[in-house]
Structure 1
Amino acid sequence: MSVDGGQNSRRLGCKTWPEASLALERSGSTLVWPFGAFEQHGPQLPLLTDALFAQRILDRVLEGLPEEMPIWALPTQAIGLSPEHRGFPGTLSLSAELLIRLVKEVGQQLAAQGVQRLVLFNAHGGQIGLLQTAARELAVETPAMAVLPCFLWSGVSELKSLVPADELANGLHAGLAETSLMLALEPSLVGEQRPLDGDHFSETAAATPPEGWSLEGSAPLAWFAADLSHSGVVGDSRGADVMLGSQLETALVAHWRRLFSSLMRSSWPPQADPRRI
């Protein structure tokens, strides 16, 4: 029998097939699929940083939802699209085509089993657009199932009061926020170094975007970490500490718990328009 209570009660993989059958056929059945990456995160953070963030935050979010809500987590997809970090040992990257195919094949099977909503809960900034594309393609083929791609750090208003504006805008990888959050979630995996590196932060950066262009934002570039940073960090990790990490964790959990509560209390998805079927 499946283990009841705690995190396991919210994990689909801990159910037997008869239990899964009953769960997925419930009205409003929702599955959340965490996505991370297996890539360098500077000399101080582990390769599995994004995957760990997605799973740990999601666990806390789901634990705090009312027990009667029919929502469960799928196993974390820990290897993603990470070509921007090639050249740093340990980084692994799947092709965009393979990840899109993965999302579509798994999603089609879930829809056939009665799942009404699939949330792609992504913690890797390098595959935001890819998962949005995958979600759109899947949604075309599964009109009765809503597909919702989201990014862990997006829309969290509390970040503005916790992270300095310059770091919030330009600390794109393994900087203050990620290092602090890992100190709160898994301090044994955090090394002692606290780099300041990457375009906009370091005079030793190998490249600077042309005027009017940026690494992210309204006129972004397809950047590679090795062109910008010697350490792999793009940001300022020097002020990272466990207190900030705990505040970030609280903000992330509260934000996503609000959003998932709203989703579970809604009637989304709407009935599909026959014109798009």
Structure 2
Amino acid sequence: MLGFDDSDRSVSWAKTPANEIREIGSQDGSVLVVPVGSVEQHGYHLPVGTDTMLATAVSGASAEAVADDLPVLVTPPIWCGYSPHHRSLGGTLTAAFDQLLAHTQSIVEAGLANGFDAVVLVNGHGGNRALVGAVVSEVGYANPDHQVLGFTYFDLAADLVEEVRESDLGGMAHGGEFETSLVLHLDPALVDQDAMDAEPFDEPYDLGDEDLVKPGPLGVYRPFEAYSESGAIGAPERASEEKGEVLFEFLTDEIADLFEEIHAQNR
């Protein structure tokens, strides 16, 4: 079942006593994982916590896959992302960029204070890309003896998406085939399959985003109702549990390999 802290006890910061956290952090090449998500509308068929729950799920599963080989913990997620463009459709909780930047920096710095050699931010919301990049630079600069890293998890699946997708370009957009497949695999009870009211992704700028896993070089602000009345864009009707399983297992393998590489680089 998807949740905001469904990691196994062996890798969950929240389920670990303080002295054990310090012990894990003090080990050579220790890695702290911080999921970063959002609470925002995802159309009529997906929960507003989709981004946070998916970032948490891939972080936890990947950490569990390598927990026997390296010291790693996963913090509770930073659940409030930067989502002002979703507010008008309801269900969205967001904050000012500078507030979220300061909050995320504080979390990362507190993690480092527990002795961890590296902190990696696992982002699950496209609107957080600039935020995560700024935290990596700011905290990394202030802590040259440690390593701060960050990435958006669904970017890793770009090549696989071209193999498994049934929708045209744009079908993997917000609340579309990609996210709906993952939630169907992890917790199908959270998907209202009778309410998949989404519209095709129609970005007027040629250099704008083309899909969830194919962001364009041009940034533009536009409230989400300009794309879709329901708030979902893409082709959620093309989603399946089977596709979600393939995507999730691939992502878990890729991220687990990255955690191992971070451990090796910081020993």
Same fold (TM over 0.5): yes
Q: Contact 2:78–2:104 (CA<8 Å) still a contact in 1?
A: no
Name the residue aligned to 1:44: 45
Counterpart-to-counterpart distance in 1, 2:168 and 2:263: 36
Alpha-carbon spacing, 1:199–1:68, altered in 2? closer, same or farther (3 Å): closer
Aligned partner of 1:158 among 157, 160, 167? 160
Q: Alpha-carbon deviation of 1:177?
A: 0.8
What residue in structure 1 maps to residue 212 of structure 2?
none
Q: In the TM superposition, what are the counterparts of 1:40-189 in structure 2 within 5 Å?
A: 40-156=41-157, 157-164=159-166, 166-167=168-169, 169=170, 171-189=172-190
Secondary structure of 1:262's aligned partner: helix
Aligned to 2:208: 214
Q: Which has the larger radius of gyration?
A: 1
Q: CA deviation at 1:170?
A: 5.9
Residue deviations 1:50-109, cap 9 Å, x none? 111011112211121141411110011111111111111211101110111012222223
**Partner letter of residue 73 of structure 1?**
V
TM-score, structure 2 as length reference? 0.88
- Say how many residue pairs are matched: 254
**Matched residue of 1:243: which SS?**
helix
Q: Of the two structures, which has the highest relative contact order with CA contacts closer than 8 Å and spacing of 6 or more?
A: 2
| Separation in structure 2 between the aligned mates of residue 79 and residue 32 of structure 1, nearest angstrom | 17
Closer/same/farther in 2, CA of residues 28 and 158 from structure 1, 3 Å limit: same
The DSSP-based 3-state class of the residue aligned with 1:22 is helix
Offset of 1:267 from its aligned partner?
3.4
Distance, in Å, in 2 between the alignment partners of 1:170 and 1:189 is 20
Q: Report the counterpart of residue 197 of structure 1 in structure 2.
A: 199
Partner of 1:243: 242
Q: Which residue of 2 is the match for residue 274 of structure 1?
A: none
CA distance in 1: counterparts of 2:142 and 2:56, whole angstroms: 27
> Could you tell me how far apart the structure 2 residues matched to 1:265 and 1:106 are?
23
How much has 1:196 moved relative to structure 2? 3.5
- Give a deviation string over 1:103-161, Cα, whole Å, max 9, x none: 22222233233221010111111111111012211111111121111111113232221
Gaps of 5+ in 1: 1-5, 201-207, 269-277
Residue aligned with 1:161, SS:
helix
* Paired residue type of 1:214: G
Cα-Cα RMSD = 1.9
Provide Cα deviations, 1:20-74, integer angstroms capped at 9, x if missing partner. 2211111111100011110000100000001110111122111211414111100
Is structure 2 residue 229 aligned with structure 1 residue 230? yes
- Given the two structures, how large is their TM-score scaled by the length of structure 1? 0.85
Letter in 1 for 2:208: S
What amino acid sits opposite 1:182 in the alignment?
A: V
Cross-structure match for 2:4: none
Which residue of 2 is the match for residue 273 of structure 1? none
Greater alpha carbon shift after TM alignment, 217-226 vs 37-46: 217-226
Aligned partners of 1:57, 1:21: CA distance in 2, in Å?
Answer: 24
How many Å apart are 1:198 and its aligned residue? 4.3
Alignment match, 1:34: 35
C-alpha separation between the residues in 2 aligned to 1:125 and 1:255?
19
